[in-house]
Structure 1
Amino acid sequence: MNNLITLSRRLVAGLALASLATWAAAPAWAETFPSKPVQFVVPFPPGGPTDAMARTLAAELSQLLGQPVVVENKGGAGGNIGADYVARAQPDGYTLMFGTSGPLAINKSLYRKLNYDPATSFTPIIYVGYLPNILVVNPKLPVKTVPELIAYAKANPGKLSYASSGNGASSHLAGVLFNGMAGTDLMHVPYKGTGPALNDLLAGQVGMTFTDILTAKPYAEAGRVRALGVATLKRSQALPQVPTIAEQGVKGYDVSVFFGVVAPKGLPADRQATLNQAFARVLASPRVKQALADQGLEASPDTRPAALAQFIQDESAKWAKVMKAAGAMLD
C-alpha cells in the first residue's frame, strides 16, 4: 500500500514538472496580442499633417485593440532618425512607424549614408494612402496654367525660384522632377519648414512652391496663391476643379507624399495579420475616413501588406532615377 502511495505521488509530481516545462518552453509571443501599449513612431516633429493623421489613427486603434497606442515624435534627418529607431526595435509588434515617402523610399537615394534599408529593414503592415502635392504661384506671377508657367520659365532662365520646406523634402524633389520633365531651370530655395516657405511665397520673395494640398487649399480659396496644377496623376478630391500637371502636358508627372505603417523586420506573420486587419478596420470607419479626407488624404484602395511593399519598391526605383539625373545628394 505504501509503495502504491509513493508511486502515485511520484506520478503527480512528474506530471506537474512536465506541465511546468511545457509552459516555460512556450514562445514569448504566445500571449494575447497586444497585451501592453503600442508605440506609434512619427519620424517628424509634432504639428504637421503626418503627425495629425497618425494621431487620428492612434485614437481609433486604441479603442479597437483595447490597449493605448502612443504617438511618439522622433524627428530629424528627413525622417531617418525615427526610421532607424524603429528598424532597430524588437520585432514584437509593439513598435510601429507611420512612415512617409522620405524615410520609406526617397532617402535611400538622397542620403550618402543610411543605417537602414526601406525595402529590407521593415515588415510592411498597411498602405494608408497619399497626400497630393500641388503647384501654387504668387498671384502676381503672370501665369495661369502650367504651360504658361513653363513658357515663362524658359523665357526667363534661372530667374524663377521655387520654395521648399527643406533639402530632400517632397516639395524640393517635386521641383527637381519638374525641371527634368518640363525642361525648365527653376531655382530651388530651401526653408526650414513649410510655414516659412509659404510666408515668403505670400510676400512675393519667391514665385512658386510645390506644397501639400491641405496646406495650400485655404490660401488658394482665398486668392492669396494661384493653384496651377495638382502633382498627381488624378485630380484631388480636396480641389477637384484644379487640373493635374500631367493633364496639362507634363505627362506622367506624379509627386505625392505617401503614408504607410511598418514594423521592424522579423515581425511574426500572425502579428502582422492582426495589425493589418486592425488598421484596415480603422481606415474603413466612416469617422476616420472623413477625418483623413478633411486632412487631404487620398485613401489607398489596396490595404494588403504586399501593396505597401510593392509601392515602396516602385517609389524607391523612381526616385533613384531622379536623384541620379539631378545629382542630388545629402550627407
Structure 2
Amino acid sequence: MNKKMKWTAVFFVMLLSFLMVTACGETNQESAGGGTEAEGEEAGDQAAAEGAQTNESTFPEKEVTIVVSNSAGGSNDLAARSIAGPLQEVLGVPVVVENVDGAGGNIARAQVFNAEPDGYTLLKTPIPSMSIGELVAEGDFQTMEFEPVFNMFGHSSNVVIVPADSEIESIEDLIAASESQKLRASGSGVATNTALGSIFLKEIGVDHQYIPYVGGSESAQQVAGGHVDFGIASEIAAKSLEEEGLVKVIATTATERLSIFPDAPTLIELGYPELGFEILYGIWAPPNTPPDVIEILADAFLEASEDPAFSEAAERVGFVEQILMPDEFRERRDIDYLLVEKLKDQFEVE
C-alpha cells in the first residue's frame, strides 16, 4: 500500500470513530432527558394527576366548622349537634358547631357563602327558609349557588293550631270564622317558614292578621294562652302543648301527613295541591367547593348518620331521618326556591 492510500484509510477510520461517539452521546443525552418530547409530556401529566390525587386524599387536614344559622338550643342547632360527634369520628378531625344568629339566619348564610370553598366551613340551615331569606329578606347570598352536601332530617313542616277550647275544629271552620270576624294568627318571624304557612292560609280564603313573634315557642304559647285565634307553628313547638291539652292541631302545611300528628290533614288533601312544603335540615358548602371534597364530605356524613348515637339523638329531639345525597338534595332545593319565588310578593315585610 502506497503512502497516499495509507493516509486515506486512516482518515476514514477516524471519521467512523467520530460518528459513533457522536451517536452514543445523543443516545445518552436522550436517556438522561427522560425520552422524547411526547414521553416527557405524558410523564408530566401523570405527575400532575398523582399530585391531585394526593391533595384529595389529604382532606381533611384540620378542623371542620359547621355554622348554624340560629342560636343554640333551637331545632336547627340540635340537628347539627346530633351528627357532629359521629362525623368527627369518621373524618378523624375536630368538628366544631358555631352558632351565628341574626337577621333570620341571613348573617350565617352570607358568612358561609363568602367563605373559602375548601370544605372546612359548612352551613347548617333549613329550607325553604333559606330561599325566603334571600328572596324576601334580601339576604346577601344566592341560595341556588350553595353546594348541597347532605340532608339529615325531613318529613317535617308547620302545623295550624288553635286553642284547646276553640270552637274551630277544621280548616273549613277556620275559613268560615274568618268571613265573619278578623282573625289574628301568631307565627315566628316575617321571612320564615311560618310566614309562608300564613300565606298558604290566605290563599285558601282564611282572612287574618299575621303577628310575628321572635321565636317558635313564644308564638305557640300565644295560641295556648288564647291571645290569638290560631297560629302557624313548628311540629316541635306544637307537640308539647298538644300533649298538655292546651292546643288542637287542625291541619298541616306538609306534603304528606306528619307521623306525630297522623290525624291532621294536609292542605293538599283538602284540595289545594300547590300548597305544601317540607322543611329539610341539611348541610351546605360555599359555592365552587371542589366536587371531590363534596363527595368526601357527603360520604362522611352518610357514614356518621349510621352511628346509633346519631339516631338516638334524633329520636330524643323528635326529628325524622330523611337522608338525601347531594343530587337529591339539590332537586328539593330547586323546587322550594321556585315556590318561594312565586309567592315572595305576598310576604309582609316592612
Match of 1:119, SS state, is helix
CA contact (8 A) 1:170 1:256 kept: no
Identity %: 26
Number of equivalenced pairs:
302
Q: Whole-Å Cα distance in 1 between the matches of residues 105 and 128 of structure 2? A: 7
| Residue aligning to 2:109 | 83
1:272 paired with 2:280, answer no
Could you list the per-position Cα deviations for residues 89-119 of structure 1 after superposition, in whole angstroms to 9, with x for gaps in the alignment? 11111100112125532222202x3321011
Query: Aligned-residue CA RMSD in angstroms?
Result: 2.3
The CA distance in 2 between the partners of 1:103 and 1:91, in whole Å, is: 23
**Equivalent-residue separation in structure 1 for 2:208 and 2:271 (angstroms):** 17
Compared with structure 1, are the counterparts of its residues 224 and 308 closer, same or farther at alpha carbon in structure 2 (3 Å cutoff)?
same
What SS does the corresponding residue of 2:157 show, helix, strand or coil?
strand
Is the CA contact 1:147–1:248 (under 8 Å) kept in the aligned structure 2? no
Select 1:126's aligned residue among 137, 146, 150: 150
In the alignment, the residues of structure 2 paired with residue 144 and residue 41 of structure 1 have an alpha-carbon distance, to the nearest angstrom, of 41
Structure 2 CA distance for aligned equivalents of residues 238 and 257 of structure 1? 15
1:140 Cα offset (Å): 2.7
Q: Show structure 2 runs of 5+ residues with no match.
A: 1-31, 33-46
SS of the residue corresponding to residue 254 of structure 2 reads coil
User: What residue is the counterpart of 2:121 in the other structure?
Assistant: 95
Cα distance in 2 between the residues matched to 1:258 and 1:31:
30
Shift of 1:30: 4.6
Query: What secondary structure, in the 3-state scheme, does the structure 1 residue paired with 2:173 have?
Result: helix
Structural mapping, 1:44-193, within 5 Å: 44-101=70-127, 104-111=130-137, 113-120=138-145, 122-130=146-154, 131-156=156-181, 159-180=182-203, 182-193=204-215
State the secondary structure of the residue aligned to 2:318: coil
Residue 294 of structure 1 and its aligned partner are, at CA, apart by 4.1
Contact 1:34 1:65 in 2 (8 A): yes
Check whether the contact 2:69–2:125 (CA below 8 A) recurs between aligned residues: yes
User: Match for residue 343 of structure 2?
Assistant: 322
Describe the SS at the equivalent of 2:119. coil
Return the offset for 1:196. 2.3
Contact 1:133 1:232 in 2 (8 A): yes
Rounded Cα–Cα distance in structure 2 between residues aligned with 1:128 and 1:38: 18
Deviation by residue 1:152-171 (Cα, 9 ceiling, x = unmatched): 22232xx2111011111211
Q: Which amino acid aligns with 2:228?
A: V
Does the 8 A contact of 2:169 with 2:250 survive in 1?
Answer: yes
Asked whether the equivalents of residues 103 and 118 of structure 1 are also in contact (C-alpha less than 8 Å), the reply is no
Q: TM-score, normalised by structure 2?
A: 0.80
What's the CA shift for 1:277? 0.7
Determine the C-alpha separation between the residues in 1 that align with 2:94 and 2:83.
12
Change (3 A) 1:71 1:223: same
- CA gap of 1:119–1:276, structure 2 versus 1, over 3 A, is same
- Distance, in Å, in 2 between the alignment partners of 1:310 and 1:102 is 12
Gaps of 5+ in 1: 1-10, 12-21
SS in 2 for 1:246: coil
Query: Do the aligned partners of 2:187 and 2:195 also contact (CA within 8 Å) in 1?
Result: yes
What per-residue deviation string (whole Å, max 9, x for no partner) do you get for residues 169-204 of structure 1?
211221112211x12211101111123222222221
Q: Secondary structure at the match of 1:248?
A: coil
Residues 260-303 of structure 1, C-alpha deviation per residue, up to 9 Å, x if partnerless? Answer: 211111212211111101111222334423432443333335x2
Letter in 2 for 1:100: P
Structure 1 position 256, deviation (Å): 3.6
CA contact (8 A) 1:104 1:312 kept: no
Partner SS for 1:90? coil
1:247 corresponds, among 269, 275, 278, to 269
Structure 1 residue 53: deviation in Å? Answer: 0.9
TM-score, normalised to structure 1, is 0.84
